[in-house]
Chains A and B, each alone.
Chain A
Amino acid sequence: MNDDWVIGVDLGGTKIEIGLISPENRVTARVRIPTNPGLGPESLVQRIAAEVEKLSLKKPVDARIAALGLCAPGPVDNSAGMLLDPPNLAGLHYAPLQQMISARLGIPVQIDHDAKAACLGEFYYGAGRGERSMTYVIAGTGVGSATISNGQMIRGQNNTAGEIGHVPLDRDGDLCSCGSHGCVETFIAGPWLARRYQRKMQAANPASPESATEKSAVDVVDLALAGDELARQVMEEAGSALGAAVATLAMVLDVDLFVIGGSVYKAGDLLLEPARRAVPKHCYRSVGCGVRIVATEIGDDGHLLGSGWMARHALAEAKRKSGVVAGDSHAGSPREVSSEEARLEDVEGVVFNVQHFSVHDGPGIRTNVFFKGCPLRCAWCCNPESHRFQPELALSSQQCIRCGQFGDICTDEWSHGAVTQSQRDKFGPRTEVCPGGAMRWLGTRRTAGDVVNEVLRDTPFYTGGGGMTLTGGEPTAQPNFAEALLRLAKRAGLSTAMETCGHTRWKVFERLLPHLDLVLFDLKHMDPEVHLKWTGVDNEVILSNLRHMAEVKAPVTVRVPLIPGFNADEKSLAAIAHFVAGLPGLEKRLSLLPYHAMGKAKYASLGLPYRMDGEDMLSPERVQELTRTLEAEQIEVSIGS
């Protein structure tokens, strides 16, 4: 563990944020000063140095500030250590800030483009932990991106790679500040959200005085949350545009994980859900099925923490140059990307439950590990808390005792669910002290070692063939974590099973199958259109994966959720039976899981609509009738699991 404190600097057009960063990579103190670029580089360096000296009083006396990282809007020449000509920073153009600050403070300094800094922060300290590749999309006043591929930042020739904001989505669209038309930015940048809303208002009701009132992006988000139809449309369009941009990046760069930062991410799922829905429309299915879109986990601290990482990197470089062998090889150096070298125990993933004594998902007594995040959105899903990839807040009104210790009553304030960042900020801290245990986080980041240790606690009960089942959510959507869990479980001699929706790259299954004793593969419908309508994706990837499973004779049990209105009819089931019967490597056996409304109450606690309202559970007689349809196709059927 290194014990160096470092400084991160986020140099913006109007203000500079300077943060003191602890050895544990937390921003422990921060200060904001105006940029005033016109005062020139000397003034800037002087003012930054003064603030650094003040901040250094807030670290332990015996600790030292070892390095500084600074990020600024592009273009930035990171190797020369200077800003080039960012339009908002006239007065600082071509100033050798790296050398100037380093000379002034006597410590190593590194400078980089702000989107790349934020990407580094996210990759090492946020939503990208444990990944090998990711793209960070920053959407605020403008839109940009940065990508780390196999541990290396993609910079391009001149460190300007990543300007996704100016990829045109509609060549006949609005004129963008860059001179082009219909750029990504014109759909999702903050000012454009406000502008588009205004436009819709005027079109809908030109006479209304409301139409004339200026709205900010924040207002639009709040209106959308409150159910304003026009605002929802704006967010839906913005999300679709983001999805198209993400799909484009996925096609060009072959990256799966997209982390959304900048101020716009604070709209949360208002933006991200339409984006997720849009991705499959704009890329190969084989690419889209691996794409995950998540919100930043370090929020506004991305720039500072990324700059902090750069500072550590500069320090390591300086030590290397001066011949001192760095004692700490982790911080400040590119991540080891070989999974063989990474300790399996340390691989992290997001789980929302470890459920002991499960008896329906594989043989014997099992412990189910519920992965958070799923590429599908099945209307009947009984685990809505599994949809999103990240920890989220939930409030159970039944357990709320209306304590009032925060000045308001959570249940009354909660009507929209905690989708947005401001609500996360407001309600998150309450989980610590909620007396009734009503307000809680669903999902936590845990290491594979920690989870498997919990699973192993029940070893005495696995004698009847029991063991660990990965479920969710979708285990294949966190492939590194799933593989680590399975390998650790196998190392301990456990039986392993995995439930999957099948919507992932075949490559992921190839990695996981060697460590699996049983795959419970959901097959939902044979018609791609119907499949798309009810689950959010069509079934091409799923069917192809199941065919592959049959070819390699994987230990698969096919399960069919039996959903009234969707597939609980003779025709749909006959098609499924026909498909299964036609796969020679597969056992002629199906497991039917009749629809139940177990998850309904959870939708309310998450502030989500329940799309199955009004659907009755199937009568046992009806299930028996449908079973006979399948048996007519020579398929053996079991009900339940």
Chain B
Amino acid sequence: MITQLPDLKSQPALAFPREEWKSAAAGERQARTRKRLVDNAREIDLVRARLSTEAYRQTEGKPMPLRRASMLLHLVRNMPIDIHPDEVIVGNRSLLPRMGVIAPEGAVNWIDAELDTLPTRPQDPFNISASQIKELREEIFPYWRGSTLEDIVEARLTDEIKLAVKGKAFKLNQTDHAQGHILPDVPAWLRFGVGGLRAQVRAAQQANPQGDAVFYESANVALDAAAEFILRYAKLAEAQLKAETDRARQDELAGISSACHWLAENPARDFREALQAVWFLLVLLQIESNASSFSLGRMDQYLLPYLERDLESGSLTLPEAQELLEYLWLKCNEIVLLRSSSSARYFAGFPIGFNITTGGQTADGRDATNVLSFMCLRAQANLCMTQPNLSIRIHEHSPQDFLETAAFVISKGSGMPQVFNDEVIIPGQMQRGVSPEDAVNYAVVGCVELSTPGKALGWSDAAMFNMARILELTLFGGADPKTGAQIGLRTPPLNEIASLEQLQACYDKQTEHFVRLMVEGCNIVDRIHAEVLPSPFLSLVIQDCVARGVDVTAGGAHYNFSGVQGVQVANVADCMAALELAVFNEHWVTGQQMLDALRKNFAGDEILRQRLVNCAPKYGNDDDRVDHFAHDWANRYSDLVGAHPTVRGGSYQPGFYTVSAHVPMGAVVGATPDGRLAGAPLADGGLSPSAGQDVKGPTSVLNSVSKANLSLASNGTLLNMKFLPTFFEGERALANFVSLLRGFSSLHVPHVQFNVVSAQTLREAQLNPAEFRSLVVRVAGYSAYFVELDRDLQDEIIRRTEFI
């Protein structure tokens, strides 16, 4: 079928027509590449560590921004590169895909300590050889000790902050590597190219002769590095071309070579060059920073003109364009981040955060969905990989066919696309001082963080604040129940507290205290980044840095935020409701008895624990008796956080998401009054109810979540929902799912993502029924809770689930 551009403009859904949904699958070359990436053993790559050590040695005594730019140049000039025979979009930051790269300027201590266990650690293992270990320990680490980000942070944090961190009240992030988490100005990079940016740097310096000469010198070195890197691929393609015998591949290599030749200095001319340019940008940013979450922003918007021009001229067909897009999709799976074992628990499974945002609205408030939005959904349906992290923006007037297509892709079970809600996010951005035209242009960073493309350093992963732990400390008068150590302020313990109001007042005091300490800690970390990790290349693609001659880490960006996550509102709400009922209203136990039970992890108090679990109201069931606590404490945390300025001239903003941190952050919290046992995970996601406690279905969950003012959570929120694949059976299922999404939108919940649950999960549910109480099975005319069904029937459903 030949689809004409005018048709695609009026009916963008033609890019992924309904009748082709069922047959969505990876093409031959994509499937081969996917297999290569998935099968590839993860190795440690020492090139980055070795070359950056060389570069730093050569530039001692020079200003840090210049040293960083020189390092980038040294790296791109000397690192080995390759073009795989299946590649059309080229470029990587290591020789092989998915290598663990070490950037010693961030940290060496934790790496040193964990070198021997890297291949065997339970989460995210990497292979490393004895000779690599030897080189690191003898040649590389000694040079860096004392001057890494990690070492300087450790030296400068105050004792009070360290006590709070050790006491697990909060966790400071970005203390051992560059922070990433940013939306570069991809449209500008595409429009101007390396040469255009050079001209901008020159013009800015002329307009600002008193400006920071080091900044501009570093910027030029970084641009030289970019050009040289891209040109190396042009030359490599040429060399491969000479040896190539296959005609088709010869044509491809010629195309790669000519595109790279051009892009080394010039802006992209067509869709394929634009995709290649986007990827080079991301690789260069990764080489410079070795950080998580450089995200791509609203790709369906900025790539559209390139695609439309090619379709119009006939130089590209729609299927060809789809294939090219999928090559970029595959590329996004080639970079992983080596994290410390503790960090890997918080961010398990290599979330590198190549987020792509589609849909949403245009500057004048019209729906922005276009043919590329559908192509992105199709790419996800075809490939079902973990990167890029595909996000859609929806709003009151989102087209039904776009939402139904998204629902179909969600039903395939990759958890993507995740869904963001313009109706609450745009006003939330504006409340933080983002201009209306920037707010409507928001995109997603990393996992679920919200930012302005090309204009903001959101520092969205600054810290995680353990609200549940702080409630525990409050119950015990600010002391750790296990050690007795005084971690927080001295406030009366539960046994001396006469009313729920008094308890809440104590919790408020402790929260305010720890928010202040967290912000102080983040500010210290932030300043050290500006000192030791200035990012000259990144500063070229964040607006205002070049004009002002200020590095992005030093506050050069137009907007400057820091995001700190509250973990977890659900547990706080459930605990408060349980305490209200059991201690203050119905007097099941005294405050002292409750403290004793918690301290003993409910040993000998199972009846009490079960009553707390089953008889106290739980967040997630649209029950105002408990939801109001979630509302109160989410809002209170948001207000406290929002009152603090960042050192870069912006403000702190709250988020409610954890990635996988609810597990390690739960591990440090003892038994809690909601009946949770010591060390058990907190609620997942960010705004999700505690596992298995939501028993009234997804609409009630959304109603519960919507009660807090989540426009305040402008750094981002996360809500996980689970569905069985059987839900998506039947012709009306997708439309019903879209009704759920529209309800989500009108309720002003900022984010939701869906796990379409597998047979494997159902088997887990059989083994641990208590944790899966909310899993609803739906068949003809009747619904039941999975765990309440006969074993035979469970098996029957599992059997059916497996065949979907």
Interface residues of A (CB under 8 A from B): 355-361, 363-365, 382-383, 396, 398-399, 401, 403, 405, 433-437, 457-458, 460-464, 466, 559, 593-594, 596-601, 617, 639-641
Contact = CB atoms under 8 A, between A and B. Distances in A.
Given A460-B747, A461-B739, 13 more contacts: A361-B781, A365-B736, A403-B610, A435-B608, A435-B609, A435-B615, A436-B610, A457-B622, A463-B739, A463-B746, A597-B792, A597-B793, A640-B730
B780 interface: yes
Contacts of A641: 730, 780-781
A398 B614 CA distance: 14
Given A594-B780, A601-B790, A640-B780, A460 B743 contact: yes
A640 B781 contact: yes
B703 interface: yes
B742 interface: yes
A405 B793 contact: no
B732 interface: yes
A617 B782 contact: no
Contact of B735 (A358, A464, A559): A464
21 contacts: A358-B783, A359-B727, A359-B778, A360-B782, A365-B699, A382-B782, A401-B607, A403-B606, A403-B607, A434-B614, A434-B615, A435-B606, A437-B614, A457-B699, A460-B747, A466-B736, A466-B739, A600-B793, A601-B790, A639-B780, A641-B781
A593 B792 CA distance: 20
Contact of A359 (B608, B733, B788): B733
Interface string B738-772: 11101100110000000000000000000001000
Contacts of A361: 781
A356 B733 contact: no
Interface of B: 606-611, 614-615, 622, 696-700, 702-703, 727, 730, 732-733, 735-736, 738-740, 742-743, 746-747, 769, 778-784, 787-790, 792-793, 796
A365 B790 contact: no
A168 to B, nearest CB: 46
Nearest to A471: B781
A357 B699 contact: yes
Given A401-B606, A435-B610, A601-B789, A355 B740 contact: no
A380 to B, nearest CB: 11
- What is the interface of chain B mostly: helix, strand, loop, or mixed? helix
A359 B611 contact: no
A641 B729 CA distance: 12
Which interface residue of B606, B697, B739, B747 has the most chain A CB atoms within 10 A? B739
Nearest to A358: B783
B614 A463 contact: no
Which interface residue of A359, A405, A437, A594 has the most chain B CB atoms within 10 A? A359
B740 A365 contact: yes
A462 B792 CA distance: 35
Nearest to A600: B790
A599 B781 CA distance: 12
Contacts of B788: 396, 398, 601
A382 B615 CA distance: 27
Contact of A598 (B622, B743, B784): B784
A601 B782 CA distance: 14
A596 B779 contact: yes
Contacts of B698: 357
A365 B696 CA distance: 14
B663 to A, nearest CB: 26
A433 B610 contact: no
B764 to A, nearest CB: 17
A593 B780 contact: yes
A364 B789 contact: no
Given A396-B788, A464-B738, A356 B747 contact: no
Contacts of B789: 598, 601
Contacts of A597: 790, 792-793
A47 B522 CA distance: 83
B783 A461 contact: no
Which interface residue of A403, A597, A598 has the most chain B CB atoms within 10 A? A598
B121 to A, nearest CB: 38
B736 A401 contact: no
B721 to A, nearest CB: 11
Contacts of A364: 735-736, 739
Nearest to B606: A401
B780 A596 contact: yes
A457 B783 contact: no
Given A356-B699, A639-B780, A598 B742 contact: no
A405 B607 contact: yes
Given A355-B783, A463-B739, A436 B796 contact: no
Contact of A462 (B607, B735, B739, B793): B739
A413 B635 CA distance: 49
A437 B615 contact: yes
Contacts of A356: 622, 696-697, 699-700
A641 B730 CA distance: 9
Contacts of A363: 732
B611 A365 contact: no
Given A436-B614, A601-B789, A461 B780 contact: no
Given A361-B781, A458-B703, A598 B738 contact: no
B699 A464 contact: no
Contacts of B611: 433, 435
A509 to B, nearest CB: 21
10 interchain residue pairs of minimum CB distance = A435-B610, A461-B743, A464-B739, A437-B614, A460-B743, A357-B697, A356-B697, A640-B780, A435-B611, A460-B746
A241 B733 CA distance: 50
B780 A359 contact: no
A142 to B, nearest CB: 44
Nearest to B792: A597
Given A365-B699, A598-B779, A359 B790 contact: no
Contacts of B790: 597, 600-601
Given A359-B732, A365-B736, A593-B780, A401 B610 contact: yes
A435 B607 contact: yes
Contacts of B622: 356, 457
A111 to B, nearest CB: 43
B458 to A, nearest CB: 30
Nearest to A605: B788
Which interface residue of B607, B782, B783 has the most chain A CB atoms within 10 A? B782
B699 A360 contact: no
Contacts of A594: 780
B705 to A, nearest CB: 12
A403 B733 CA distance: 43
A359 B614 CA distance: 27
Contacts of A358: 783
B743 A365 contact: yes
Contacts of B796: 617
Contacts of B736: 359, 364-365, 464, 466
Nearest to B615: A437
Contacts of A462: 739
B614 A435 contact: yes
Contacts of B793: 596-598, 600
B154 to A, nearest CB: 47
A365 B608 CA distance: 38
Contacts of A464: 735-736, 738-739, 742
Contacts of A598: 779, 782, 784, 789, 793
A335 to B, nearest CB: 33
A458 B699 contact: yes
Contacts of A403: 606-607, 610
A360 B778 CA distance: 9
Contacts of B784: 598
Nearest to B608: A435
A364 B607 CA distance: 42
Contacts of B779: 596, 598
Nearest to A399: B614
A452 B123 CA distance: 49
Nearest to B769: A398
